[in-house]
Chains A and B, each alone.
Chain A
Amino acid sequence: MDSATEVLDQPQIERVQLEGLVVMKVIKHCQENFPMTVMGQLLGMDRNETLEITNCYPFISPPTGAATAGPDGVDTVAFEREQHRYQREMMWCVREARIDHQVVGWYQSSGSQMGSFLSSQWIETQFNYQINLSNIVCLVYDPVRTEEGTLSIHAYRLTKKFMDVMRKQDFSSLGFSNLSVSASTIIEEVPVTLHNSSLINAALVELDYADEFSGANDVELSRLSISDKPVLEQSMDFLISDLDALGREQSKYSYYMRNLVRGQGQLLERMRKRRAENANRTAKGEEPLQEDDDVQQMFEKEPSRLDTKILLKELDSYVESIKSLASEGIVKQYGVSGVQAGEE
Chain B
Amino acid sequence: MESTDIFVGGEDSGARQVKVSPVVLFNVADHYQRRTDDKRRVIGTLLGRVNANGTVEVTNCFPLPHSEKVKEFKEVAVDNIYNETMHTLHRRLNTTEEPVGWYATGTETDISSVVIHEFYARECRNPVHLLVDAGLVSGRFDVNAFVSTAYQINDRALSSELRPIPVCMKPGKAEKVGLDVLFKNRRREEGDKSLPIMASEIENLEKSMERLLELLDVVGKNVDAVVAGEVEGNVTTGRFLAETLTMVPRMNASDFEQLFGDNMRDLLMVAYLCKLTQTQLIVAEKLLAIDTTPKH
A residues whose Cβ falls under 8 Å from a Cβ of B: 19-21, 23-25, 27-29, 31-32, 55, 58, 60, 86, 89-90, 92-93, 96-99, 143, 145-151, 153-154, 172-174, 176-177, 182-183, 192-194, 196-197, 199-208, 210-213, 217-224, 232, 236, 239, 243, 246, 250, 253, 257, 260, 264, 267-268, 295, 298-299, 302, 305, 308-309, 312, 315-316, 319, 322-333, 335-337, 339-340, 343-344
Contacts and interface: CB of A to CB of B under 8 A. Distances in A.
Q: Which of A24, A200, A232 has the most CB of B within 10 A?
A: A24
A326 B92 contact: no
* Interface SS of chain B: helix
A92 B198 contact: no
Contact of A319 (B181, B256, B264, B281): B281
A193 B178 CA distance: 14
23 contacts: A89-B85, A96-B65, A97-B34, A97-B65, A172-B292, A173-B292, A176-B289, A183-B281, A194-B185, A197-B29, A199-B134, A200-B26, A207-B169, A210-B169, A212-B170, A221-B211, A224-B208, A246-B284, A257-B292, A260-B294, A308-B288, A309-B288, A343-B250
Given A207-B169, A332-B205, 10 more contacts: A24-B23, A25-B23, A25-B26, A149-B204, A206-B140, A212-B170, A232-B270, A239-B277, A268-B296, A340-B251
Given A27-B174, A212-B169, A177 B30 contact: no
A221 B212 CA distance: 7
Contact of B175 (A27, A148, A305, A327): A27
The 10 closest A-B pairs by CB, nearest first: A203-B141, A24-B23, A194-B185, A219-B180, A21-B26, A206-B141, A151-B181, A97-B63, A220-B211, A326-B271
Contacts of A146: 174, 177-178
B197 to A, nearest CB: 6
Nearest to A210: B169
A176 B290 CA distance: 11
A96 B198 CA distance: 33
B200 A324 contact: yes
Contact of A97 (B31, B178, B205): B31
Contacts of B201: 145, 148-150, 324-325, 327-328
Given A28-B23, A319-B278, A335 B209 contact: yes
A260 B63 contact: no
A329 B29 contact: no
Interface of B: 21-23, 25-27, 29-36, 59-60, 62-63, 65, 79, 82, 85-86, 89, 92-94, 134, 136, 140-142, 168-183, 185-186, 189, 197-202, 204-205, 207-209, 211-212, 215, 248, 250-251, 253, 256, 260, 263-264, 267-268, 270-271, 274-275, 277-278, 281, 284-285, 288-296
Contacts of A219: 176-177, 180
Contacts of A25: 23, 26-27
A197 B33 contact: yes
Contact of A330 (B79, B186, B267): B267
A58 B289 CA distance: 40
B21 A243 contact: no
A201 B176 CA distance: 16
A316 B171 contact: no
Nearest to B59: A28
A180 to B, nearest CB: 9
A242 to B, nearest CB: 10
Contacts of B182: 20, 23, 194, 196, 204
A314 to B, nearest CB: 10
Contact of B33 (A199, A206, A323): A199
A194 B198 CA distance: 9
Nearest to B188: A194
Contacts of B215: 221
Contacts of B205: 223-224, 328, 331-332
Contacts of B248: 339, 343
A171 to B, nearest CB: 12
